Structure 1
Amino acid sequence: MWCSKVSGILAMLGTMGGGLLALWPQPCLAQGAELEQPPRALSQLTLDVSEPGVLVEVDGAVRGVTPLEGPLDLPGGKHQLSLAKVGFVTLREEVELAAGPQRLAFQLRPRSSSARMSVGATLLPAELWLDGEQVGPLPWSGEVPPGEHVLAARGPAAVSEERRVSVLDGENVVVTLSLLPRRGPLLIEVQHASIYVDEAWMGVGRFDGSVPVGKHRIRLKRIGFTSKEYDVDLAPEETWRLSDVSFGEGAAAGAPEPPRRDSWRGVYGQVGLFGWFSAKPTDELRRECPPARASGSCDWYPSYGGGLALRAGYSFGWLAVEGLVAGLADAWYDQLRYDVEQSSQQSAFYGPARSERYTFARYGGAFGLGARVLTPTQGVRGTFGLTFGFVTRVERYFRVSSTSSNVTTPLGTATIPDARAETSGSDSQASPLLLADLGVLFGSTPGLKFQLGLLLAATFGSSTEAPARRGSLGRDAAGQPLPFGSAAIDISRGSQLFFGPILGVQLGH
C-alpha cells in the first residue's frame, strides 16, 4: 500500500524532474504489481437431473437437492460431482468448469427391483411357504423382492423349521430346507398291560409320548389274556388316545397267550463290571500267624477288587449256553508284630523284635463255559447263570519291616524308629473257578438290556510259594547287623469265596 502512495507522489514529481524517479528502487514497483493481480474467474453451473429429490454434493460438500434454486457459483477448474437418491445408482463424476455460465445434464439409472431365489428340500414331497403364504411344491424357483424373507417347508409326514434368508438387489440365492418327521401325541392307559408300538416295548400300564405321523400298530399284552392289537393312522396335529380296554375273562383256551419263540431265540452278547470281594483272605500268614508262637500278634483285613467280564451265548428260550472271558484283580494286607527276638533255629520267621506289614496283590484272567436260565418276558427278565472254568493269576507281596526303641528322657519315655527294610516276592496260580450270578435284565428282547445282579464265586487249590527272603534289620550293641528273614510264603492256600455286585448291558436275545 505504501508503495502505491509513494509511486503516486513520484509521478507528480516526474513532471518536475525525471531524474528523481530514476533514483527510486524497482523492487517496490514489482511488489506493487504482484499485489494488484485480478481474482480467479467464477463459473455459474446449472444442473439438469432426470429425477427430483437427488442429493447434490460438490467436492464432498452438500449443495442442495434437485431441483436446485439456481446455478451453483464455483471456481473454474476440476471438481468432483456426486448425485445420489434411494432406489437409483449413485452417480460420481469429475467435471471441469470454464468461466461463465455452464449447463450439464445427467440421467440417473434406477436400481434392480427384484432378486431370484431357488429353494430345495431334503425330503419330498413338501410345499414351500414364503413369508407366511403357500407358493407351491418344492423344489421351487422364482423372483422375490430384495430384503429378508421367511421360508418353511411342510409335507404330509415331515416339516422344517422357519428359516430367515436375506437377498440383495439382482442376487440369485440357493437355499435347501432340512425337514424332520412330523410327530403326533399318543396316550395309552391300560392297567397291568405291556404296551408295544411297532413291536417296541413302551412300558406297562401307561404311555404318554409322541411318535412319527403315519401308520402304526399298537399291541397290548397281559399275562393270561389274549393280546389286543390296533392299527393307527396318526395325522399331523392329531392326538390319539386309548383307554378302558377290556381283556375279558382270559384267552379262549383258558391259558395265557404263548410268547413268540422268535423273540427269545438267538445270539446275545454281554459286557459287565463286577465286584470281587472276600471276607477272609487265604494267605499263609493269616492262617498260621507266625508271631503268635512268640507272644506276637497278627491283624488281617478283607480283600477288595473287581473286574470286567465279556459273555457271548445263544438263547433257546428259557435256557441259554454261553462262554465267559474276564479280567480281575484284588488286594489286601496283613499286619504282624513280633514282640521278642527269635533266631533262625527257633522260627523260619526270625529276626529282632519288629513290626511287619504285608501288602498282597493278585491280577489275571479267567475263562469258562456255562448255562443260563432267563424268563421269557418283555421289559423285565430274571436271569441266573452258572459257569465253570479256570483262573490264572500273578500273585505278589510287598513287605515293610521296621524296628523301634524306647528312649527315656527327663520328659518321659518315647518310641523312636531304629531301622526299616523292604522286600517283595511273587508267584503264580492257576486254579479251578466256579461262578454263579443272579440278576434282572431291563429292556426289550431282542434289543438292548441293562443288567443288575449279584455275583458269587469260588476258587480252589493253592498257588506256588513265593520264595523266602533274608536280610538285615538294625544293628546290635556291638554294631553288627541283625539278620532277619522269612520262609517261603503261600499267598493263596485252599479254596476262597468271593462276592460282589454286577452292572452291565446285554444286546440281542
Structure 2
Amino acid sequence: MLLDAGAKAAPPAPPGKAPHAATSSEEAEARAHFEEGVARFDKREYREALEAFRRSLWLKKNRNTMGYVASCLKQLGQYDDALEQYEEMRREYPKLPAKIEAMVSADMAELSGLVGTLAVAGDAPAGASLFVDDRLRGRLPLEMPLRVSAGRRAVRVEKEGVEPIRTTVDVRAGKENVAELVATSRDGWLVVSEKHNWVLHVELDGKHVGVTPWRGLVDVGEHKVRLHGFIWEEALLACDAPTTVAEHGAKVASSVTTASVRLYEETRVVLGAEEQDASLRVESTPTGATVRIDSKAVGKAPWEGRLPLGKHEIEVSAGGFFPAKQTVQLERRKQRELSVSLERQPDLEAEARAARNRKIGVGLAYGVGVAGLGVFAVTGGLALNRLNELNARCPNKQCPSTEAGNQRAAEALGTAATVGLVVAGLGAGAGTAVLLLTRPGDGERRVGPSVSAGVGLGGFEVRGRF
C-alpha cells in the first residue's frame, strides 16, 4: 500500500527538494484541496477524501495526489479503479523514486489478486453504453475486456430508444469473466428513404407501414423493403421533391431490396424509385364500348389513363358487336392511342324471323299459283270437252237453240280457266319476287325455302325445298 489508513501527514516531497510553494491562485487552491483530502484520509473518511484529492488533481496534476487517489479507491473496495490509477500514475511519472516504486509495485500486485476481467457477449448492440454497478465503463464493442473488482456485479447495457439489457456476473479474481446479455425484446431500427427525397409509401414484407422518410422498430433479421406511389407530373418534370403523398400522377416504384436488421442497431436503406407507367387512350366505334385491360374493366370508351410499363392486353366490347382484342407495349413517358372499330354481329333472331316470313310469303304466293293452275287445268279441260262436243253437234259453228245452255257453260269454263291461268301466273310471279327481293345478304345464313317453277312435259311444274 502506498499510503495506509494511519498516515498522519502528507507524503514527503521528492528527495533533495523542499516542499513546493504555491505560485498561483490555482496552485494554492489545489494545495488547499490536497490538505483537506489528507485530513479526511486520516479520519478514514475515504469517500470525502477521494473527492478532495480529485478536485486538487483537476487544478494541478501531482504524483502524491495521484497516489492518495489510488489509496482511497483501494479502501473503498474499488480495486479495479485503484489499479488503473496506479497505471496512470506510472504513465505520467515513469521514473519514480525507488522507494515509492517499490511501494507502488507491492500495492499493484495485491490489487491484481483482487480483480478479474469482464467481457460482454450475446445481445451486445454496437454503440450502447456499458454500466457495471451503475458506473459507466465504456461503449460497446469493448476494445479489450474490462478490469472489474471481484464479487457479484450488476451489468447493464443502454442505448437510446431501446429497452435496457441487464444481467449479473460473479466476477472471480484473476479470471476472465463473461457477461452474457439476453435482450427481452429483439428489435432493431430500420430507416427507409428515397434517393430523390420523394414521399412514397413504404412496403415492408408486403405490408404498408408508412411513407418516406420512415423509421421504426422491427424484428431482428432480414426484411423485404419496397417503395411505391405516385408523383405529380409537374414535380417529375421539374425534378422537385414533393413534401406530401400524391394520390395520382405518374406511377413510380422501386425494386425490392433486402434489409438485414441487427439487434438495437440502426439499419439504413436508401431506395431509388423510377417511373413505372405510361399514358394510354382508347377510342371505339361505336363509342361507349366497354374497355378491359388485362381482363379488368376500367371504363367506357373513349378512355384515358396511366398503366404500368410493358405489355397489356386491351379488350373492347359492345352489345351486338364482335369483341376486339389487341396487345400494346407501353414505354416510359410515351402516350399510346388505340382506335378500335367493332364488327357488328349478325342478328340471328331477326334472320330467323325473316326466313320464316320468306317461307310463309313464298308458300302463300306459290300456293295461290298452284291453286290457279289447278283451276286452269280443271276448267280448261272441261271447257275443251264442251267445245269439242259443240263442234260435233254444230256443223259450220251453227248451233240450234237447244245448245245455247251448253255454249254458255263452255264460255264460263273458258273464262274460269283463263282466270286460273292468270292467278297461277300472278302467284308464281309473287313467289319469285319474294325470293329475289328478300334473299339473304352476304354473310347471312340461308334459312328460307328454295323453290323453283317451270313448265315441263305434261304441264306446269313447281319444285321446292323448305
TM-score range, shorter chain: under 0.3
TM-score w.r.t. the length of structure 2 is: 0.22
| Structure with the higher strand share, 1 or 2 | 1
Q: Which has the higher contact order (CA 8 A, sep 6+)?
A: 1
TM-score w.r.t. the length of structure 1 is: 0.21
| Structure with the higher helix share, 1 or 2 | 2
If you compute each CA radius of gyration, which structure gives the higher value, 1 or 2? 2
